[in-house]
């Protein structure tokens, strides 16, 4: 009886070496997969981007226009329902155009203050749901051009999640 | 002397608890920064503002020496135009591949079948017998495929062309990735059997290990390894692949022209954005770096 109580009374050393091994493996895996450059572009909600073989990454933060099944958004603010864009005959989407022109004026003002050329073409990234008809896409793209954003890029999902 | 005979002290284990603490902080931090799907951009050329506001009465003089390449997509076919002429139409049958939420399996339907089911008050059916949400089924489309069709005439409904593809998926869930071409740059293909050629042709066999094949990717000629040969699949030939092959040939043939890197993609109003991106991908891969967009009949 005395022997038993002594046996269970002893401190059993807790070995965390195996847990450390596991943690080290997870840490190395996470560091390998970490993107040191960060993401300049984040996917909008309520849309599915098309998959593409493109590996081109945006070089700077740009104004983002989103076209989903319900709305056209500029910088995450709802501007006009997508259905209205599809219904109109005119190529220029007036509501989007006025918002973009305001943003362009602010950009040019900042460029002048920073001593940079203000008349350079603006950059814009357009996130469009993959099922959106070409008509809506074309009107939004043309409107961006009219507002002075002629460097247009479409956001896409990298094929196979960017893995080679 | 007696001290020397004493047993050596048991080596002490290093205290790993601080390191554990550090790891416990680092792992959640890295996990929060991890990107599981990467976004990229596809750049598109837009005419300068001065050109966009140009007087419609004075269109620019067409350059007779230029290639003036365009790629048009309608609801039924793709066609390449250059120097005022057009290549034969590449007809296709559109198919939607869904990834069901209920069983995570892929299922392929034609848009007409999907619309008929939705009109009948049902969503597209999954392999496990469940139905997709008839309001939100569009969000479950994984790929919009364009199956190339072999037509003898305008009236001919045509037959689906089948080809040998590399497997971009797993052994359980094969996904057609790249179509093989032989030494003469021809696809390993044949028209399908049954109504509209929807069944794979029995004459088309998967190439065995050791066969000399390539894909449309440059410098992809290879001797087929046994494990790769076993995984290959026979799948309907994509109209995108047929067009990609033609674009590569055109770019190589007219490499000396000034506008050899330019292409205009022309589409109908109702063409889905996904198709435009797929065509832009094929054009970029063929070497056309300056892509413009235009509307059919507009």
Report chain B's C-alpha Rg in angstroms.
27
Minimum CA–CA partner of B280 in chain A: A52
Chain centre to alpha carbon of residue B227: 24
Phi (first) and psi of residue B112, to 5 degrees: -65, -40
pLDDT in tens, B167-215: 988 878 888 889 999 888 899 999 999 888 999 999 898 898 888 899 9
B47, closest residue in chain A (CA to CA): A150
In angstroms, the CA B181 to CA B178 distance is 10
Query: Would you say A155 and B39 are in contact if contact means Cβ atoms under 8 Å apart?
Result: yes
Q: How far apart are CA A157 and CA B205, in angstroms?
A: 34
Question: Does any CB of chain A come closer than 8 Å to the CB of residue B273?
Answer: yes
Label residue B50 by pLDDT band (50, 70, 90): very low
What is the reported pLDDT for A67? 94
Q: Cα A119–A120–A125 angle (5° rounding)? A: 130
Write down the pLDDT at residue A164.
Answer: 54
The one-character DSSP state at B199 is B
Q: What are the angstrom distances between the C-alpha of B18 and each of A16, A100, B14, B30, B168? A: 11, 53, 10, 18, 44
Contacts of A52 in chain B (CB under 8 A): 40, 42, 277-278, 280-281
The pairing of strands B39-44 and B233-236 is unpaired
pLDDT tens digits, one per residue of B114-134? 999 999 888 899 988 888 888
Which residue out of A52, A61, A72 would a mutagenesis test of the B interface target, given it has the greatest number of B Cβ atoms within 10 Å? A52
Which residues of chain B lie closer than 8 angstroms to A148, CB-CB? 49
CA–CA gap between residue B285 and residue B283 (Å, rounded): 5
With CA atoms as reference, the chain A residue closest to B268 would be A134
Provide the 10 A C-beta neighbour count for residue B129. 8
Tokens 């309520």 belong to A46
pLDDT at B11: 73
> Is the pTM value of this prediction over 0.95?
no
User: Do A153 and B273 count as a contact with CB atoms less than 8 A apart?
Assistant: no
Q: What is the pLDDT of residue B287?
A: 92
Q: For residue A99, what are its two tokens? A: 């918002």
Domain boundaries, chain A: 2-33, 51-162
What separation in angstroms does the CA of B167 have from each of B117, B180, B231, B234? Answer: 31, 11, 6, 10
Helix (H, G, I), strand (E, B) or coil at B72: strand
Least CB-CB distance to B34: which of A30, A43, A69? A30
* Lowest-pLDDT choice from A93-97, A125-129, B152-156, B256-260: B152-156
For A59-111, the pLDDT digits (tens) are 877 889 999 989 999 988 999 999 999 999 898 999 999 999 999 898 888 88
Per-residue pLDDT band at A7 (split at 50, 70, 90) = low
| Six-digit token string for A118 | 């203000």
Annotated domain spans of chain B: 62-295
B86 interfacial to chain A (CB closer than 8 Å): no
Q: Give me the phi and psi of B271, to 5 degrees please.
A: -65, 130
Whether residue A162 and residue B27 make contact (CB cut-off 8 A), yes or no, is no
Dihedral of CA atoms B243, B245, B246, B249 in degrees, nearest 10, equals 160
**Given pLDDT bands bounded at 50, 70 and 90, which one contains residue B48?**
very low
Strand partners, B107: B98
């Amino acid at each position: 009886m005395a022997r038993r109580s002594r046996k269970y009374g002893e401190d059993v050393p807790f070995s965390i070496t195996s847990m450390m091994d596991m943690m080290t493996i997870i840490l190395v895996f996470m560091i390998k997969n970490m993107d040191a450059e960060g993401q300049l572009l984040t996917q909008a909600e309520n849309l599915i981007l098309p998959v593409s073989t493109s590996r081109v990454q945006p070089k700077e933060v740009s104004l983002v226009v989103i076209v989903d099944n319900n709305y056209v958004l500029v910088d995450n603010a709802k501007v006009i329902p997508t259905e209205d864009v599809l219904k109109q005959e005119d190529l220029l989407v007036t509501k989007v155009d006025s918002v973009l022109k305001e943003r362009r004026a602010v950009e040019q003002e900042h460029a002048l203050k920073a001593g940079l050329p203000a008349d350079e073409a603006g950059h814009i990234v357009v996130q469009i749901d993959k099922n959106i008809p070409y008509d809506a896409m074309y009107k939004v793209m043309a409107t961006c051009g009219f507002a002075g954003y002629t460097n247009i890029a479409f956001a896409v999902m990298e094929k196979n999640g960017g893995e080679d | 002397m007696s001290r020397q005979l004493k047993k050596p002290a048991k080596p002490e284990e290093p205290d790993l608890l601080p390191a554990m603490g550090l790891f416990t902080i680092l792992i959640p931090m890295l996990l929060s920064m991890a990107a599981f799907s990467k976004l990229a951009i596809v750049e598109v050329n837009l005419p300068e503002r001065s050109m966009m506001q140009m007087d419609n009465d004075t269109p620019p003089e067409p350059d007779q020496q230029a290639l003036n390449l365009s790629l048009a997509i309608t609801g039924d076919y793709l066609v390449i135009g250059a120097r005022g002429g057009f290549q034969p139409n590449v007809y296709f049958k559109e198919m939607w591949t869904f990834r069901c939420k209920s069983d995570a399996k892929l299922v392929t339907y034609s848009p007409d079948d999907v619309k008929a089911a939705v009109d009948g008050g049902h969503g597209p059916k999954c392999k496990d017998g469940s139905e997709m949400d008839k309001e939100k089924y569009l969000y479950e489309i994984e790929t919009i495929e364009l199956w190339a069709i072999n037509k003898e005439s305008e009236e001919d409904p045509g037959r689906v062309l089948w080809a040998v593809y590399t497997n971009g998926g797993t052994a359980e869930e094969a996904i057609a990735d790249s179509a093989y071409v032989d030494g003469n740059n021809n696809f390993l293909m044949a028209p399908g059997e049954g109504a509209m050629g929807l069944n794979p042709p029995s004459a088309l066999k998967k190439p065995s290990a050791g066969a000399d094949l390539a894909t449309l990717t440059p410098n992809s000629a290879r001797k087929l390894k046994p494990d790769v040969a076993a995984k290959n699949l026979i799948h309907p030939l994509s109209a995108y692949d047929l067009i990609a092959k033609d674009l590569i040939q055109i770019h190589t043939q007219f490499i000396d022209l000034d506008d050899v890197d330019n292409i205009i993609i022309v589409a109908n109003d109702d063409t889905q954005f996904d198709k435009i991106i797929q065509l832009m991908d094929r054009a970029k891969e063929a070497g056309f770096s300056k892509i413009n967009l235009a509307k059919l009949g507009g």
